[in-house]
Structure 1
Amino acid sequence: MRIIETALILRKEIARLRTDGKRVAFIPTMGNLHDGHLALIKEARAQADIVVVSVFVNPLQFPREDDLQRYPRTLQADCEKLSKAQVDLVYAPAVSDVYPHGLAHQTQVMVPPLVSQCDEPHQRTRLRGIATVMCKLFNLVQPDIVFFGTNDHPRFLTIRRLIRDLNYDIALATIPTVREKTGLALSSCNTLLNKEEKEAAPRLYQVMQTLADMIRERPSAIAESLDNARDDLSRAGFRDISLEICDADDLEAVRVNSEKAVILASAWLGNIRLIDCLHVNMPNPAVSETASPSL
Structure 2
Amino acid sequence: MLIFKTQNELVSHLNSVSNTATSIGFVPTMGALHQGHLSLLKEALQNNSLVVISIFVNPTQFNNPEDLAKYPRTLTSDIEKIKTVSDKIIVYAPSVDDIYEGKTISQHFDFDGLENQMEGKFRPGHFDGVGTIVKRLFEIVQPTNAYFGEKDFQQLQIVKKMVQKTKLPVTVLGCPIFREPNGLAMSSRNERLSEKERNEAAIIFKTLLQTQKLFKTKSSNEVTQIVVKTFENYKNFELEYFQIADEATLLPCIRKSKTKKYRAFIAVFVNNVRLIDTISLN
TM-score, normalisation: structure 1: 0.89
CA distance in 1, matches of 2:19, 2:198: 48
C-alpha contact 1:111 1:131 (8 A) present in aligned 2:
no
Q: Give the partner amino acid of 2:278.
A: C
Contact 1:113–1:119 (CA under 8 A) maintained in structure 2: no
Q: Structure 1, residues 239-279: CA drift from partner, whole Å, max 9, x if none?
A: 14200001111112334244310001111111211011001
Find the counterpart in structure 2 of residue 232 from structure 1: 230
Aligned counterparts of 1:21 and 1:35: Cα–Cα separation in 2: 26
Q: Provide structure 1 residue ranges, at least 5 long, that are not aligned to the other structure.
A: 282-295
For residues 12-40 of structure 1, give each alpha carbon's deviation from its aligned partner in whole angstroms, at most 9, with x where no partner exists.
Answer: 11212223243100000100100011111
**Alignment match, 1:250:** 249
Separation in structure 2 between the aligned mates of residue 5 and residue 110 of structure 1, nearest angstrom:
31
In structure 1, what is the equivalent of residue 125 of structure 2? 125
Alignment of 1:90-109 (within 5 A): 90-104=91-105, 107-109=107-109
Q: Distance in 2 between matches of 1:98 and 1:125?
A: 18
Over 3 Å counting, the alpha-carbon distance change for 1:108 and 1:16 in structure 2 is: farther
Given that 1:151 and 1:276 are in contact with CA atoms closer than 8 Å, whether structure 2 keeps it comes out as yes
Give the Cα separation in 2 of the matches to 1:247 and 1:101: 39
Structure 2 residues not aligned, in runs of 5+:
none
Q: Which position in structure 1 is the counterpart of 2:19? A: 19
Return the offset for 1:107. Answer: 3.8
Query: What's the counterpart of residue 195 of structure 1?
Result: 195
- What's the offset of the Cα at 1:173? 1.5
What is aligned with 1:263?
264
Change in Cα spacing, 1:21 to 1:50, as seen in structure 2 (3 Å) is closer
Letter aligned with residue 36 of structure 1:
G
Q: Retained in 1: the 8 A contact 2:21–2:49? A: no
- Asked if structure 2 preserves the Cα contact closer than 8 Å seen for 1:111 and 1:128, the reply is no
Report the number of matched residues: 277
What amino acid sits opposite 1:76 in the alignment? Answer: T
The answer to which of 18-27 and 254-263 deviates more is 254-263
TM-score, structure 2 as length reference: 0.93
In the other structure, the counterpart of 1:78 is 78
C-alpha separation between the residues in 1 aligned to 2:172 and 2:263? Answer: 19
RMSD: 1.6
- Secondary structure of 1:239 counterpart: strand
Q: What do residues 79-132 of structure 1 show as CA deviations (whole Å, max 9, x unaligned)?
A: 11112211421000111111122324x54445343253154041x422111110
Q: Residue 215 of structure 2: SS of its match in structure 1?
A: helix
Q: Identity rate of aligned residues, in percent?
A: 29
Which residues of 2 match residues 132-143 of structure 1 at below 5 A? 132-143=132-143
CA contact (8 A) 1:204 1:233 kept: no
What residue in structure 2 maps to residue 204 of structure 1?
A: 204
Structure 1 CA distance for aligned equivalents of residues 243 and 84 of structure 2: 39
User: Which residue of the partner structure matches residue 171 of structure 2?
Assistant: 171
